[in-house]
Structure 1
Amino acid sequence: MASCDKAILNRLKRTEGQLRGIQKMIEEEKECVDVITQLSAVRSSVDHIMGLIVAENLKNCLENPEADADLQHKKIAQAVKLIVKK
């Protein structure tokens, strides 16, 4: 998951920058609608990051199955549950 890790970290850093920008907007008393728009963008970014992580873990689970079929099923079910939960 090394290349995926780098992409996820880059997305997290961008999201962190967006959050700092929102803090500055609040300090500068920017319009509520502008702050909410940016918060929505951050939420979307975090949802996307979560999807990437779950997808990568599910892919890994399918490519490298557990010897115990019940454990394999539980891991896949957990990944699907995380995806559906969104």
Structure 2
Amino acid sequence: MATYGYHHDKQQHLNRLRRIEGQVRGLQRMVEEDSYCIDILTQTSAVNKALRSFALSLLDEHLKHCVAHAVANGGTEAEEKVREASEAIARLVRS
């Protein structure tokens, strides 16, 4: 089984995702309770920011671990990891 860059902080990442999950459940409750639109939009913005922050943290770990390791080894693996990272960054920028 491969060990990825986030492995050492896995529990921290899971905790963060659980908090985000709680925020999303909060959004569901707000809609169920007919909360004010602006309040729902404000909470939606907070969820988006939390997810973006999580993604950037994971990307940082990927660059420091997976990409750095591949670049140190060189060859086609390095090219592949850099391409993957570039595509991931492009997806994050578009979202």
Identity %: 33
Alpha-carbon displacement from aligned partner over 1:36-76 (angstroms, at most 9, x marks no partner): 11011111111111111121111112442264512212202
TM-score, normalised to structure 1, is 0.84
User: Where in structure 2 are the equivalents of 1:1-86 lying within 5 Å?
Assistant: 1-65=6-70, 67-86=73-92
Unpaired segments of 5 or more residues in structure 2? 1-5
1:20 and 1:62 map into 2 onto residues whose CA distance is 35
Retained in 2: the 8 A contact 1:22–1:35?
A: yes
The answer for unaligned runs of 5 or more in structure 1 is: none
How many residues matched? 86
- RMSD of aligned alpha carbons: 1.8
